[in-house]
Amino acid sequence: MMFSLAVMLLGVPLFFFISQWLYLHEADEALAVQKDEFVRFYLPEIKEDEIAVFNKLGSDVQIEKNESGIVKDTMYERSVYNHMDKDNEPFRILKSPVTINNKPYVFLVKANLVDNYELAKSTLGIFTVIIVILLAGLFIITRRLSITLWKPFYQTLEQIEHFEIDKNSNPKLAPNDIEEFNRLNTALNKLAERNTLIYKSQKEFIENAAHELQTPIAIFKGKLETLLQRPDVTEEQFEILDKLNDTTTRLNRLNTNLLLLSKIESKQYNIPEKLVMNAVINQKMDFFQEQAMAKNISINTSLEPNIIVNANLFLTEVLVRNLFLNAINHNINNGSIIIVLDKNALTFSNTGDSRSLEADKLFERFSKVNPSSKGNGLGLSIIKRIADNNNWKLDYFFKDNLHTFEVRF
């Protein structure tokens, strides 16, 4: 369309100059024809005393004395005052030397021309109308063709945009008449199927592994606790067994969290109910206040009463528990936690590291804010998964030296 517009704009002056040249050429031919008619039909018979009468027949054809000594036909333009219109008008004039009664005269014939300004204005107006009509037509035709041509592409794009690998539905890319789009759809179908199979295999492996590990971990932990209670265990042995017990506890927690994530992704907790969020928070408050006291952390709450959400009770309890654990574990001694609940959001803010965390990696699995932390790096990932499962929005921001996690309902 831009190319067409450029061609049309360049064509305006070209058309003007060509039209002007053709117009002048036609005018010159017409003047030459009039001169030839005069020389052929009138010049042999006209007498010198008839020149005055001839000149009165019209102002466009005159016979004048050859005072300037013209020896050949001369063409030129000149503005002549029009007494009727009271304005100067352009004329094309032909002067040709003739002989009457053996005396030199000049035959003058002139033709009225269109004013260049008027011609340019008319040309510009015509081309403006043509350009507008052309552009409008091109826009409508191009848009209709574009919609028809790109319709299969946008259908494919819409399917891919709504495709989620953790859902049990692959994109349905229908065949069409365009070979390139068919190849694209075939490649995307194969890619989606292959990645879905890989994802399902990985998810099933994690779920099965986590499930199968529960029993041996529980047995191993039980044996360790039995050994720790034996009276014949030396102090050095006790320290080793105690470290093994802590590691087993962390392994058991990791296994439980992986199993929980797998169940969330497989939609095993997708039966929501109406919950009073205040009750869930208050239920966890007593337990976590004792943990906070160990680091002399104060917990301040501002809970709007009777905030009802539609969610799974177990997952909501896990979300609140993990928010508490995150706020306590990554806090400082003599720090503080601020919990705010209203009809739009639940917010946990806590003191801690004086720098903002990397928000883009914060909710990834096994991503730790502090590498020396005893956590397994799944707490925030579980929070994010639960929020997504309920179509809630989870955000993190750092302001006034407080790390804030906000869950918007």
Q: What is the pLDDT along the chain (409 residues), one digit of tens a residue?
A: 566 667 666 776 777 677 778 878 888 999 999 999 999 998 998 998 889 888 888 888 999 999 888 999 999 988 887 766 677 888 899 999 999 988 999 999 998 887 555 666 776 777 778 778 877 887 888 788 777 778 888 888 888 887 877 666 677 777 777 888 888 888 888 888 888 888 778 777 777 776 777 788 888 888 888 888 888 888 888 889 888 988 888 888 777 777 777 777 767 777 788 999 999 999 999 889 988 998 999 999 999 999 999 999 989 999 999 999 999 999 999 999 999 999 999 999 999 988 888 777 788 876 655 555 555 568 888 899 899 888 999 999 999 899 999 999 9
The residues, ordered by sequence, that sit 6+ positions from 395 with a Cβ below 8 Å of its Cβ are: 405, 406, 408
| Amino acid letter for position 373 | S
Q: How far apart are the first and last CA of the chain?
A: 48
Token pair 């991503």 is found at 367
Q: Are strands 103-112 and 87-100 parallel, antiparallel or unpaired?
A: antiparallel
Q: What is the pLDDT of residue 168?
A: 63
Query: Cα separations (Å) of 131 from 9, 97, 141?
Result: 8, 48, 15
Q: What is the pLDDT of residue 89?
A: 83
Contact 402, 351 (CB under 8 A): yes
pTM of the model: 0.50
What Rg do the C-alpha atoms of the chain give, in angstroms?
Answer: 48
Q: From CA 145, how far away is CA 157, in angstroms rounded?
A: 18
- Hey, CA dihedral for 316, 319, 323, 328, is it positive or negative? positive
Residue ranges and CATH numbers for the domains of the chain are 2-119 (no CATH), 179-265 (1.10.287.130), 273-408 (3.30.565.10)
